[in-house]
Structure 1
């Protein structure tokens, strides 16, 4: 893959289908490919490989920046998801009619569309250098890196595209955050926040029981068995309290002369604030439905035409 995309003069757009077979639960991890995809997110991204024979090998950087689209079942690794525009798809319902895809019919149409887009891109290339488009409120950090060039292109297209692009940006970023609880640790924090509710403290035994009852969570079958108090303490120990101390179980009085280990909401509150998604975010399904309404399948809005002199 790195040799395929490293030629700047013939760099392809990579369409990676059935990506769940590469990063899914039955896959072997494929960390080299994940590192390549992560590095290729930026124009400056490279991977280092040894080239040559025997003792005359040298380390060579290969540029791996390229446009990449992936399709597959389920989610991808967190590091890839955070670098992506995530569009969640649903199976076509029996009452939904879709035109069948026929390669000999639609491939020429796709090629013609590609040529129109390429010609238009060449016509606006100079005006997109060093452009800083205004991003929607709340779009920052990595989502800003992902969406900034897309919104700049929409601004260059003009018409209704700037508004539609910004609306899609907000909806898709919101949907991805609402659906993505991040790593297993962040998922644990988020589920604990929901379990605590307004409680001041809870015993570890009660937390473990409540975690195991969550139908859509991994806690009843974590590494082949239910989550244990030791595993809970180890995972929460990766986070700190507002005083910058590791989160640890503490003794909680259960009677005049008895106590048991548990956790205080005050110890977890800073981690909840920093890592968990806001409670008010709308669901990914609702947000994606709004985007579908913005971009209906039958949309025939014309593309901006390129000046005749810019045609290849």
Structure 2
């Protein structure tokens, strides 16, 4: 286009030829309701509340319970949206709550490992005859001392009075050899105790979960085959001895969440030989002996179930009626036993006190006899103290060098120190470590050797032992 040419003006358009832009019409509310339809035929299997509403705990629990019965696939399809509807709960928190609801549902539908005894319909006015029957059953089946039968009888009654006790002694059924009736006594006691649960082996996690869930009277046979190798089981057994220290903490679940488990409960164990000292200290030892060929004992399988069921039923009723009486009882504890033994026997003496003077006297005598046997076996450290005192007396001196003390301990063949370490002698370091438990340590000194010559070195002064001698050997 040349510079001189001008652009032609645009053609004029007539207004009527332009389409009018129409405003959309608005339907009345009534007509809108009639023409609007919801094309969602089926709602979610979980009823989701409106987002703007605050969810109550009862409604939330109801929704969680519904989720707990869904299949795994159904739950996966619902979990995210449901968590949002529950006040924007995290999916992780919802998973934990649903899992807990499922566990509770499973525990309600699964068969319990223990059986609750129906209490006798009438009050038990002849409790003396029931206790005498228990004692006679033990007499008919077990070869043991009268003290053991008394202790076992009272321990069976104790299982029906757990709420009245602050200390629950372990019944430690032991024997020097096989075929002495350990399993037989364990079985008899389980058939007359409350909520009995018997096993020949158990793991640490199973142990504390069973106690927490079922509150059983636990009977563990052949515990000597695994207890020394399981620190976890020992810890649970020790904790379950005292009401004041009845809780253990364990991490459980996929998230390793720490939870407290109550392991306070009655436990009876049987085995041959030694068990850890901490368990012995919390136990009432019931030592059995093999019957003589001239002795005749009945078989447990011949004991009618009706008899033991009746005993359980009457003990259930008597314990219900006399719980507060047992709890309030204040028996005089024997002065000749140590504090731990007094704690172990207190609940048994409470029960004996309510049974009458005859049983209280029997319990008192059994306590002294059994605890006396127990006290005759000092710990290794106490034995070391006693033997050191002997070595000082033999040398007739107040000071001994460490090497001379070691020689004196290992010289006597009746002492255990020459073969302590798998056939090898105890070491100076081991002596020092055990004596440190009593706040006794070696020091530089002058002393006389076996020839009466004065020598110098590290050793021990008998004056440093006097407090320990008084406390642990008297």
Specify every segment of 5 or more residues in structure 2 that has no aligned partner in the other structure, as ranges.
Answer: 1-206
Q: Tell me, what secondary structure is at the counterpart of 2:271?
A: coil
Please report the RMSD computed on the Cα atoms of aligned residues, expressed in angstroms.
Answer: 2.7
> Could you tell me which residue of structure 2 aligns to residue 265 of structure 1?
462
Task: Give how far 1:215 is off.
Answer: 4.1
> Could you tell me which residue of structure 2 aligns to residue 190 of structure 1?
386
Do the aligned partners of 1:47 and 1:62 also contact (CA within 8 Å) in 2? yes
Using the alignment, how far apart are the partners of 1:61 and 1:81 within structure 2?
25
Using the alignment, how far apart are the partners of 2:258 and 2:459 within structure 1?
52
> Could you tell me which residue of structure 2 aligns to residue 294 of structure 1?
none
Aligned pair 1:115/2:310, yes or no? no
Distance 1:151 1:66, change over 3 A: same
Task: Give how far 1:144 is off.
Answer: 2.3
> Could you tell me which residue of structure 1 aligns to residue 248 of structure 2?
47
Using the alignment, how far apart are the partners of 1:129 and 1:200 within structure 2?
54
Alignment of 1:279-298 (within 5 A): none
Aligned pair 1:233/2:233, yes or no? no
Distance 1:87 1:194, change over 3 A: farther
> Could you tell me which residue of structure 2 aligns to residue 22 of structure 1?
226
Q: Tell me, what secondary structure is at the counterpart of 1:71?
A: strand
Per residue, is there more helix in 1 or in 2?
2
Aligned counterpart in structure 2 of residue 33 of structure 1, from 216, 223, 233: 233
Do the aligned partners of 2:420 and 2:426 also contact (CA within 8 Å) in 1? yes
Greater gyration radius: 2
Aligned pair 1:12/2:216, yes or no? yes
Using the alignment, how far apart are the partners of 1:112 and 1:144 within structure 2?
32
Using the alignment, how far apart are the partners of 2:306 and 2:432 within structure 1?
59
Do the aligned partners of 1:238 and 1:247 also contact (CA within 8 Å) in 2? no
Distance 1:61 1:214, change over 3 A: farther
> Could you tell me which residue of structure 1 aligns to residue 196 of structure 2?
none
Alignment of 1:146-165 (within 5 A): 146-165=344-363
Do the aligned partners of 1:233 and 1:249 also contact (CA within 8 Å) in 2? no
Do the aligned partners of 2:248 and 2:262 also contact (CA within 8 Å) in 1? yes
Task: Give how far 1:79 is off.
Answer: 1.4
Distance 1:249 1:50, change over 3 A: same
Using the alignment, how far apart are the partners of 2:457 and 2:298 within structure 1?
63
> Any idea what the Cα deviations from partners look like across 1:217-239, whole Å, max 9, x if unmatched?
25413255211233323332332
Using the alignment, how far apart are the partners of 2:403 and 2:272 within structure 1?
35
Q: Tell me, what secondary structure is at the counterpart of 1:66?
A: coil
Task: Give how far 1:260 is off.
Answer: 5.8
Distance 1:258 1:223, change over 3 A: same
Paired residues, what number?
A: 262
Distance 1:146 1:63, change over 3 A: same
Using the alignment, how far apart are the partners of 1:203 and 1:106 within structure 2?
68
Using the alignment, how far apart are the partners of 2:307 and 2:366 within structure 1?
25
Distance 1:267 1:157, change over 3 A: same
Using the alignment, how far apart are the partners of 2:319 and 2:234 within structure 1?
30
Using the alignment, how far apart are the partners of 2:366 and 2:445 within structure 1?
46
